[in-house]
Amino acid sequence: MSWRVVARRDADVTVEARSVKLLLGLLVTAVVLAGYVYPVIGSEPHTTARFSGFVHGTVTTLVPFVGILLGYNAVVSDRESGAVRLTLSLPHSRRDLVLGTYASRTGLLTAAVVGALVAAGALVVYPFGDLELASFFVFVVLAVAFGAVWSGLGIAVSLAVATSRRALVLGFGLVFLFVVVWDAVERGIALGLTAAGVADGDLPGAVRFLLELEPGNVFGRVTAGFVDPARSVGDAWYLDEWLALGLLVLWIVGPLALAYVRFAGRDLA
């Protein structure tokens, strides 16, 4: 299929970049280091299921940065140089270009995530930890899905704007909002509603639901509900792990689909 040709070519070019190797190497090193440290400082019993909660912060901090940096320049740089029109003059459609680029960048991130988690899991198990294979497999799949969310957001940014500078600003704006300041936003809203007499310590359900839509929160709920026995998702319907799983799928598909609709209707001249 035509998109596979685009994916192979893009992967060959992307993986040769030194910056990409450094990004993926940083992610792998941080996750493997977490697997080394967990049996030393983590609470017993040391299992691969409980390790998901320990490494959660590392994954939700680094994967967004790597995903955005892998994706933000993927299409827009070729558009600026005119290479995208050359690609589309061959037997490739705009859909082939988007699918191939997404498959390439997500595939690279997936390889790094899977390799890092397998190595970290081995460090957790050896010599005194316990392998809970089914739950660890589920965690690896969910981590890959979380990576697909952020590589998709990076590609979506690249499709939605006309210059690399705008793509970089928009991409890091998403990371800054969702990764850096989202907890502060939640606290600020809680304090504001409490001061206004709308809330008494706990946020209203509708507000809490909207705040829980953030990708890292969604990923946290699915891992807590399906993988880590030491964590729980709460009793409220909007905290349900199955709902969170559906939202994770929407985060993978939605932004990229909306950006593709915009890209498909734009003049690339």
Q: If you average pLDDT over residues 241-255, what whole number do you get?
A: 96
- Does position 112 have pLDDT exceeding 70, yes or no? yes
**Does residue 194 lie within any of the structural domains?**
no
What confidence tens digit (pLDDT) does each residue in 194-208 have? 777 666 667 777 888
Average pLDDT, the chain: 90
Q: Which residues contact 7 (CB under 8 A, 6 or more apart)?
A: 99, 100, 101, 103, 104, 107
**Does residue 152 lie within any of the structural domains?**
yes
**Does residue 8 lie within any of the structural domains?**
yes
Sign of the C-alpha dihedral computed for residues 117, 121, 122 and 123 taken in this order: positive
Domain of 99, in residue numbers:
2-180+212-264
**Does residue 187 lie within any of the structural domains?**
no
Under DSSP, the state recorded for 235 is S
**Does residue 205 lie within any of the structural domains?**
no
Structural domains of the chain, count:
1
**Does residue 147 lie within any of the structural domains?**
yes
What Cα–Cα distance (Å) separates residue 211 from each residue in 29, 100, 258?
Answer: 31, 33, 22
Q: Take residue 87 and report the two structure tokens written for it.
A: 């690609």
**Does residue 195 lie within any of the structural domains?**
no
User: What percentage of residues in the chain have a pLDDT greater than 70?
Assistant: 97
What pLDDT band is residue 253 in, cutting at 50, 70 and 90?
Answer: very high
Sign of the C-alpha dihedral computed for residues 8, 14, 17 and 21 taken in this order: negative
Q: Take residue 199 and report the two structure tokens written for it.
A: 């809330």
What confidence tens digit (pLDDT) does each residue in 133-175 have? 999 999 999 999 999 999 999 999 999 998 999 999 999 999 9
Please state the separation of Cα 15 from the chain's center in Å: 19
**Does residue 119 lie within any of the structural domains?**
yes
